[in-house]
Structure 1
């Protein structure tokens, strides 16, 4: 019974996340690209979306720091690494360039596929190919705690 409840709660959290991405405009690449266009048609509204996400994230990390177990059982998996490594910097740069070119990052791209955006599907397929290449050739740099 507990496994089913956990599955359904995770499903509902995913739906809530997707709705938040749609309502905030995060699944619209034009909104993202306008946010990144500081010298042109800059749209600062994304700052509020990011600020809200940071506040919710900080709250979640605070709760995780004082609780011993997750709400639905099991252990919290909080990263313990705090170093700034070469793979972190390179990966961040690649992510940022991809975000700036396409206007998508992983979560919003998956949501955009559901709304029928073909270029989101192309982005996700390319992202999965990049992940496969990385796993194939850079297995020593997998994310770990």
Structure 2
């Protein structure tokens, strides 16, 4: 049931991105072009998404378990650290240059165009490099036999 739900929600999200125009790099870049021919339509898409997410998080915070019975795992951290700020800047720069961000890029793969394939390929390479280069936190060693826990 979890896989079917995930598939349905992912398809619904992808269709929403397509209908909203988020998969059109020219429309996205027009939104980001504040000094030129600015297209404010995506601001409405973002405002709608923020409103829906805000409501969903408020409702989810009141529930002990998720709709499908699993544990409710809501984010708890409110820290703004260097990694978050630099990652946000890199994300925004990439979005502005390419006109894609990960969700719309994946939805755009359905069009069969070369640009989404190149973007998603570069995104996967970047994710792989991050995994290779990111230092892992030290894990606690398993207690020795006979050692009090």
**2:26 aligned to which of 21, 27, 30:** 30
Helix, strand or coil for the counterpart of 1:131? helix
- Mapping 1:103-118, distance limit 5 Å: 103-118=99-114
Give the C-alpha shift of residue 6 in structure 1: 2.4
TM-score (norm 1): 0.90
- Structure 1 unaligned segments of length 5 or more: list them: none
**1:139 aligned to which of 132, 135, 145:** 135
Which 4+ residue blocks in structure 1 deviate beyond 2 angstroms?
none
TM-score (norm 2): 0.88
- Mapping 1:1-145, distance limit 5 Å: 5-140=1-136
Count how many residue pairs are aligned between Structure 1 and Structure 2: 137
- Structure 2 unaligned segments of length 5 or more: list them: 138-149
Give the C-alpha shift of residue 62 in structure 1: 0.6
Structure number with larger C-alpha Rg: 2
Give the C-alpha shift of residue 63 in structure 1: 1.3
Q: Distance in 2 between matches of 1:140 and 1:59?
A: 35
Structure 1 or 2: larger helix share? 1
